[in-house]
Chain A
Amino acid sequence: MRPADACDNEVMKMQITPFLAFDADPFDPFAALRRLRPDAARGIPASDRAGAFPAVNLWQGADSIAVTAEIPGVAPADIDITVHDDRVVISGERRGPEADDEAVWLRRERAYGRFSRAIRLPYRVDPDRVEARFQDGVLRIELQRPEADKPRRIHIASA
């Protein structure tokens, strides 16, 4: 069991290589991610897995990324999201039950305290176009690739 006030502060380590020789689509920034953890979540119960908090899933859109995270027991007001370049940081605090000297723990599987997690995205995102929603303990953030950074097909003019 993890100590109550020691939520992991861990930066997700992802190696993103922009150009990979054997990728079907050399402009697919998620290709390296998919290869990294081909079936990370298959068959693993979410509630029994130790690791960084909060656990995140990443979603790939046309020119956008969605990050979903399980943060049960935290009020939306206690969650902070900051976006800078290709990095999104989810931090906050999960408050424990009120101190009660007479109360006895019969079972303690949940962790309380401050948490912070930085997630490196496959590309830079526009910090002015970030949407975040929180429902039933699940956070969902949608981030957009800046117009100027989108890959462009270059037309070769015939001589």
Chain B
Amino acid sequence: MSTEIRETEESTAAEPVRGDRDTPVFRPRADIREGKGGVTLTLEMPGVGPEGVDIDLDRRVLTIRGRGRVTRPEGFRQAYAEYAEGDYERVFTLSEEIDEAAIRAGMANGVLTLELPRAEAAKPRRIEVRAG
């Protein structure tokens, strides 16, 4: 039995989209790993602190947004750039097997970790057959 997590189509754009803050919105890199108890989702959002994360669950659509902090050292001007800063957004669709009420989230060093426990009803159960 495999837990299904699908990515919602419109969130997969490779080009950054402009958010309402007039900063680019990036699609964060994600790891999804399924263990015995459920699914662990990790998302890379450098520049986002714990207070900048917004997790929204509407039915089974999980939307994760991160508000990035802009690093602009005072008295410096940019001379060379390999990465751009901005906000993050990615949308996932959960299967029914996730216990939505028990989702836990933690943010450390710019990485969001979401624990999505499998719903009790979805856990495999051993049915004992008694001799009559």
Which A residues lie at the B interface, using CB under 8 A? 30, 33-34, 36-37, 40-49, 51-52, 55-62, 64, 66, 68, 70-76, 97, 100, 102-110, 134-138, 140, 142
Contacts and interface: CB of A to CB of B under 8 A. Distances in A.
A107 to B, nearest CB: 4
B15 interface: yes
Contacts, number: 166
Interface in B73-132: 73, 75-86, 88, 109-111
A46 B31 contact: no
16 contacts: A30-B80, A45-B26, A47-B29, A47-B88, A57-B82, A70-B83, A71-B109, A97-B31, A104-B33, A105-B34, A106-B32, A110-B29, A110-B44, A137-B44, A137-B48, A142-B73
B36 to A, nearest CB: 6
Contact of A56 (B46, B69, B82): B82
Interface SS of B by simple majority: loop
B44 A138 contact: no
Interface of B: 2-3, 5, 14-16, 24, 26-36, 39-40, 42, 44-49, 69, 71, 73, 75-86, 88, 109-111
The 9 closest A-B pairs by CB, nearest first: A137-B110, A72-B110, A59-B76, A137-B46, A41-B81, A58-B80, A55-B83, A107-B32, A70-B46
Given A73-B109, A138-B110, A106 B83 contact: no
Q: Which of A76, A100, A107, A140 has the most CB of B within 10 A?
A: A107
A61 B76 CA distance: 4
A158 to B, nearest CB: 36
Q: Which of A49, A57, A76, A104 has the most CB of B within 10 A?
A: A57
B121 to A, nearest CB: 21
Contacts of B14: 45, 48
A76 B110 CA distance: 12
Given A73-B110, A140-B73, 5 more contacts: A57-B82, A66-B76, A137-B45, A138-B47, A138-B69
Contacts of B27: 45, 47-48
Q: Which of B35, B76, B83 has the most CB of A within 10 A?
A: B83
B86 to A, nearest CB: 8
Contacts of A52: 82
Contacts of B44: 47, 72-73, 110, 137
Nearest to B35: A103
Contacts of A135: 49, 69
A83 B16 CA distance: 35
Given A40-B81, A59-B79, A46 B42 contact: no
A105 B84 contact: no
